[in-house]
Each structure stands twice: as structure tokens, then as C-alpha cells.
């Protein structure tokens, strides 16, 4: 199963909707050009936010064998940029532009042991993988962490399907996930696939490195939409071009710069490739690095940032103490 980024756009028609938690809605889409979704794949969809078309990515949670239908699950984040509100508003019969399943997070068959780690809505990327690993009788553990049982999508189905292979950690039951304990059970041959909030993934990455585990055995996917802090509106300046613009909390710095007429270089739009990197000349506030391109050292140095996903916040603690005064200001060169 290979990475595949050849985009085939097609029409998706909503054929089923279901609330799987208070905040999460499952949507089943029929594909006008059917293609089966391999584990780890996602679709990109075009959403309309305030009259503007924007693109969002959703993991495929399951698909029919003939590829006619793919299911996704949409979580309405408290700080949604608008995409999840649009998606949750869809009804049976509605149509939207979607890609055929894309693959950037392939499951490798043949590892001696697997750990699948899902935090919150990150479970959507793990459902299909876990099902396949169970089918091929692989040695796997599915670790699912969430705030409360009620907020954890697909929990009853997972319990029924995976039995003892499912390890559930629930914050409000006092069984919160302890990354150190999890990694203590991981050996040199284990492949760990994870999807979840950036704080969880950062903790796992640090622990992984600290234990000297094999870097390529840690597999993860981010759609670049998870940060350490809630998104805020901030100001970006490009003195060389005489540009100053505001980055709204619902848009990326890259989008704002493009909107201001700056000819930007970029590619993946999810903080992986590093092509959208900008040099920081000045900073009032702090950078919320949301990319996986820079090392921890480079992120601390805060000399550059990936403007497709990373943002500025007014306070390095994330607490906006001064609602009146303080928008962060980033001065950059591109």
C-alpha cells in the first residue's frame, strides 16, 4: 500500500448521516467514481465557509468493498474554522466535491507488532487500520484516549470488535493515558501509528526519541489543524513588500498572505514539506508551531515558521490575559 496523492475529484453524495457523539457526526458518501479506501487513507472535500470555497481533509473510517461508499466522521471543534460546521450541516441527498481516497498514512503489513494510538477524534484514522490488523490476525493493540466516554466516537463498536486488544483511557474516569507507561511496552520492532491532538503526538515523539526507538517505526499523520493553543487572530507584516494583513482565526497565515497578493511558495498545506517556510524578522507574542517539518530545536529557535499551518498567539502560555490589547504581530520575509 503506497502513498498516493493523485487527486481525482468527483461528486460525493451524502447517503447517511448519524450522530455518533454529541459533537461528532458520521457521514456516508457515495462516490461518483468509486474507489475503495485503504487503511490510513483520507478524502479531501471542498467546503463553503462564508461564501468561500475551502478545502478540508477527513480520514476515511470505513468503505464498502466495492468502493461505492466511504464514511467519514466530522468532529465539531470548539474553535472550528468553519469547515466542520459546514460538514455537520449536510443532509442526505446533499452533494459536494470530494477526492477519491488519498493515501499519506499507509499501514504496512508485516510488522511483528503494532500499537495504534488514537486521541479523541483521531480515532477516525485508526478504525480502518485496526479492522484490517484484526482481520489478518496481526499482533496489535488499539489504544484510545478521550475526555469522557460520551465524547468518544465508535466506542461500543470498537469494544465489540477488538475486545482485549482495545485499551481505553478516559480522562474523567481517572484513567488518563500515560505516555511513558505506553512507550515502556513498546519494543524495537513495534510500529506505532498515531493520530490525535498535537500535545499527545508531541509527547509520544519526545518519548520515542528519548527511548532511542526507531524513528521510521513511529507513524503519524497530521492535517496541520491541531496546535498547542487555540487559534487567534494575528497580524502579519512583510516589510520588503510593504504588506500588512490580518490572519483571521479561521484562516491560515498562508491563505491570508495569498489574499493580500503575496506570491507564496507552498505545497502540502499540512506542515510536512517545508516549502512554505518564512523567515521571522520580528515577533510580538509567540509562535504556535503546528508543523512536523522542523525539529524541536528549530521550533524553539523560532527563526522560521511553516506558514501553512503554524500561527502566532498573543501569549506563550496560550492564556489571553489582555483581550483588549493584544493581537500577536509577526514580521517576516518571504
Partner 1 sequence: MTAMMQSVSSTTNKVLGYPLNAWYVAAWDHEVTRKPMSRRIADRPLALYRTEDGKAVALADACWHRLAPLSMGKTLGKDEIQCPYHGIVYNSAGRCVSMPAQETINPSATVPSFPVVERYRYVWVWLGDATQADPTLIPDMHQMSSEEWAGDGETIFAPCNYQLVLDNLMDLTHEEFVHSSSIGQDELSESDFKVTQDGNTVTVSRWMLDIDAPPFWLKNMRDKFPGFEGKVDRWQIITFQSPSTINIDVGVAKAGTGAPEGDRSQGVNGFVMNTISPESAKTCHYFWAFMRNYRLDSQLITTQLRKGVHGVFGEDEAMLKAQQEAIDANPDYEFYNLNIDAGGMWVRRLIERQLTAEGRLIPTV
Nearer to partner 1, 52 or 189 (CB): 189
Among 136, 160, 181, 324, binds partner 1 (CB under 8 A): 136
What residues have CB less than 8 Å from 25, skipping those under 6 apart? 17, 18, 19, 73, 74, 76, 87, 88
111 binds partner 1 (CB under 8 A): yes
**Complete DSSP assignment for 278-331:** EEEEEEESEEE---SSS-HHHHHHTSEEETTT-EEES-TTS----TTT--EEEE
Site for partner 1 in 2-21 (CB under 8 A): 2-3
Site for partner 1 in 29-58 (CB under 8 A): none
Stretch that binds partner 1, among 76-84, 130-138, 147-155, 175-183 (CB under 8 A): 130-138
Whether the CB-CB separation of 314 and 330 falls below 8 Å is answered with: no
295 binds partner 1 (CB under 8 A): yes
Task: Give the shortest CB-4-to-partner 1 separation in angstroms.
Answer: 10
Phi, psi of 100 (to 5 degrees): -65, 160
Q: How many CB atoms lie within 10 A of CB 299?
A: 20
Stretch that binds partner 1, among 220-228, 251-259, 282-290, 317-325 (CB under 8 A): 220-228
Among 8, 109, 150, 319, binds partner 1 (CB under 8 A): 109
What residues have CB less than 8 Å from 176, skipping those under 6 apart? 145, 169, 170
Among 51, 78, 93, 110, binds partner 1 (CB under 8 A): 110
1 binds partner 1 (CB under 8 A): yes
**Complete DSSP assignment for 224-287:** S---SS----EEEEEGGGTEEEEE-TTS-HHHHHHHTT-----SSSSSSS-TTEEEEEEEESEE
Pattern of binders to partner 1 over 225-264, x per CB under 8 A? Answer: ----------------------------------------
294 binds partner 1 (CB under 8 A): yes
Among 44, 62, 232, 272, binds partner 1 (CB under 8 A): 272
Pattern of binders to partner 1 over 166-205, x per CB under 8 A? Answer: ----------------------------------------
Cα(291)–Cα(310) distance, integer angstroms? 6
Strand partners, 283: 330
Nearer to partner 1, 268 or 286 (CB): 268
Phi, psi of 155 (to 5 degrees): -60, -50
Judged by the rule CB under 8 A, the positions of this chain that interact with partner 1 are: 1-3, 66, 104-106, 108-111, 132, 135-136, 215-217, 219-222, 268, 272-274, 292-295, 297-298
Amino acid at each position: 500500500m503506497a502513498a498516493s496523492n493523485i487527486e481525482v475529484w468527483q461528486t460525493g453524495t451524502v447517503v447517511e448521516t448519524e450522530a455518533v457523539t454529541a459533537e461528532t457526526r458520521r457521514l456516508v458518501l457515495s462516490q461518483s467514481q468509486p474507489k475503495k479506501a485503504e487503511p490510513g487513507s483520507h478524502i479531501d472535500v471542498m467546503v463553503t465557509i462564508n461564501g468561500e470555497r475551502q478545502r478540508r481533509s477527513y480520514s476515511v473510517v470505513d468503505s464498502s468493498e466495492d468502493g461505492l461508499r466511504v464514511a467519514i466522521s466530522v468532529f465539531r471543534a470548539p474553535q472550528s474554522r468553519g469547515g466542520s460546521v459546514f460538514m455537520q450541516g449536510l443532509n442526505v441527498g446533499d452533494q459536494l466535491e470530494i477526492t477519491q481516497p488519498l493515501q499519506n498514512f499507509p499501514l504496512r503489513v508485516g510488522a511483528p507488532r503494532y500499537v495504534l494510538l488514537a486521541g479523541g477524534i483521531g480515532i477516525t484514522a485508526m478504525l480502518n487500520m485496526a479492522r484490517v490488523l484484526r482481520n489478518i490476525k496481526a499482533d496489535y493493540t488499539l489504544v484510545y484516549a478521550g475526555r469522557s466516554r460520551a465524547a468518544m466516537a465508535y466506542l461500543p463498536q470498537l469494544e465489540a470488535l477488538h475486545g482485549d486488544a482495545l485499551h481505553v483511557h478516559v480522562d474523567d474516569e481517572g484513567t488518563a493515558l500515560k505516555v511513558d507507561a505506553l512507550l515502556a511496552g513498546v519494543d524495537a520492532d513495534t510500529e506505532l501509528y498515531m493520530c490525535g491532538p498535537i500535545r499527545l503526538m508531541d509527547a509520544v515523539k519526545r518519548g520515542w526519541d528519548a527511548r532511542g526507538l526507531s524513528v521510521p517505526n513511529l507513524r503519524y499523520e497530521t492535517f496541520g489543524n491541531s496546535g498547542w493553543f487555540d487559534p487567534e487572530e494575528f497580524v502579519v507584516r512583510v516589510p520588503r513588500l510593504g504588506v500588512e494583513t490580518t490572519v483571521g482565526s479561521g484562516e491560515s497565515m498562508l491563505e491570508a498572505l495569498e489574499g493580500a497578493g503575496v506570491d507564496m511558495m507552498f505545497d502540502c498545506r499540512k506542515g510536512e514539506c517545508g516549502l512554505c517556510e518564512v523567515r521571522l524578522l520580528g515577533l510580538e507574542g509567540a509562535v504556535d508551531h503546528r508543523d512536523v517539518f522542523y525539529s524541536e530545536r528549530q521550533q524553539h529557535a523560532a527563526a522560521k515558521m511553516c506558514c501553512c499551518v503554524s500561527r502566532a498567539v498573543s501569549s506563550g502560555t496560550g492564556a489571553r490575559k489582555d483581550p483588549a490589547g493584544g493581537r500577536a504581530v509577526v514580521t517576516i520575509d518571504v
